[in-house]
Each structure stands twice: as structure tokens, then as C-alpha cells.
Amino acid sequence: MAQNKWLVFALVMALSIMLGPFLIIFFASFEPSSTLRFPPTGFTLSWFKKVIGMSMFQRSLVLSLRIALLASFLSLLLGVPTAYATSRYNFKGKRLIELISTSPSIVPGMVAGLALLRFFVLLRIFSIETTLLIGHTAIVLPYAIRSTLASLVNLPISIEEAAQSLGANPIKSFFLVVLPNIKVGMISAFIMTFIISFNEVPVSLFLSGPGVSTLPIVMMTYMEYYYNPSIAALSTLLIGLTLVIVLIAQKLLGISKFV
């Protein structure tokens, strides 16, 4: 009985640590005064209307969505073949490729952002938006590889061998047999990389430029000058959007059963 009480206590503490900050932001977004505070002194939806109508947030939101979608697509385009090669073949330098493919998730974001900044400054051939896209792709690529690799490891190679014994060449068996069987891993990788790219701060902070900034950077800049509930309202909207995407994917695709 005492053990159960300690388990309940640990569960409550874990939920409080994980959900507490989000609940504070959620309730603070309804504060009617012009100062961000908790608990709120009243209730209003005016801050939600304000942030939805602000052009600076609209432009940065469109940019963040575009970069996150393209970075997720590119990470799958590069990550699926990489994961397939490392899971199905043994070749010289395989361990080095695995190390390089996972290094962006190990290196601190500020270090990766500074390195990418110096790299693109030396090249001087890409626009700011293109550098953001390349930087975000580099950051989310390891997650695409790992998520896809998990699905490939659980896929018996005998299925491909059976397809090839029936006349399919390796490329045809890859598209007709492998990809359909790992689609859940690919979709989960796309969702994961999209959310990571959309919320990326350190790399975006280094690679952003005049008039081209992602939504998290614009929010940080806005908070330097204004301390009102508008940022809490925008954060609540973003949290709600993320939850909706994850819940829909889990409901329709059953991702939680596989990853």
C-alpha cells in the first residue's frame, strides 16, 4: 500500500514538472491586463485576436511552416536511403557514416548554428531562406534516419528476398515491398522532424537575417520589448496545433503501436 502511494506521488510530480509550465502559459494567455501574470485576474480572448492579426507573426509562421515541411521532406529523401544502406549492407566506413549521421543530434545547437553560419558565410552563394532550410535539414536528418532505421530493422530481409526471387530487381523490391512496410516509421519521422524543425531556435538564431526570421526567433525578439500575454496566447495556439497533429496521426495511423 505504501509502495503504491510513492508511485502515485512520483507520477503526480512527473506530470507537474512536465505539464506545469504549459498550464501556467495556458491560463496566463487569458489575462485581461497588459502584463503577463499568473494566476490571471480575469478572462479575455483579445490577446488571441491580436496575435492572429499581427503581420510579423503571420510572415514568420508561413516561413516556419515552409521550412519545416521542406526540411522534413528532404530529411526523408536523404534519410531513408541512408537507413536502408546501413541496415542491409556491410561496407567499409559504415560506422563512420553512422557516427556522422547522428552527430547533429549530439552536438549542442549553438555550436551547430555557429558552424553552419561560418560555413555559409564562406560560401556566400545561398539566400538566407536557403541557408535556414539546409541548416534545419542537417539538424533533423538524424531523427529521420533513426526513426526509419527502427522500422527497417524490424522488417525481415526474407520479404525482399522473396520479392526478388519472383523476378523483382532490388530497386523494384525497394519501392514495392520495403517502402509500403515502413510507411508508419516514415510518417512518424516526418511528424517528428516537422515539429523539431518548426521549434528549432539555436540554428535559426544564427542563420536568420533582416526580414527573414522563423516564428520562435520573432517571438524571442518580441519578448525583449513587450511583456504582455500575447506571447502566451501564441504559445497556447502552437501547443494546441502540435497536439492536434500528433493526436490525428496517432488516431488514423496507430503510430504509438509501432514507435
Integer Rg of the chain from CA: 22
- The domain spans of the chain are 1-44, 55-257
Q: Report the alpha-carbon distance of residue 21 to residue 76 in Å, rounded.
A: 32
Q: What is the pLDDT of residues 210-255, one digit of tens each?
A: 778 888 888 888 888 888 888 888 888 888 888 887 787 777 665 5
Q: What angle do CA 242, 244, 248 make, to 5 degrees?
A: 125
Q: Give me the average pLDDT of each 10-residue run along the chain (259 residues).
A: 72 82 84 80 85 87 92 92 83 75 71 80 79 89 86 81 77 82 86 88 84 86 83 86 78 54
State the DSSP H helix or E strand holding residue 95, giving kind and residue range, or none if neither: helix 94-106
pTM comes to 0.83
SS3 54: coil
Q: Report the alpha-carbon distance of residue 219 to residue 212 in Å, rounded.
A: 13
- Give burial (CB, 10 Å; 0-12/13-18/19+) of 99: exposed
Q: What is the pLDDT of residues 53-65, one digit of tens each?
A: 888 888 999 999 9
CATH topology for 55-257 is: MetI-like fold (1.10.3720)
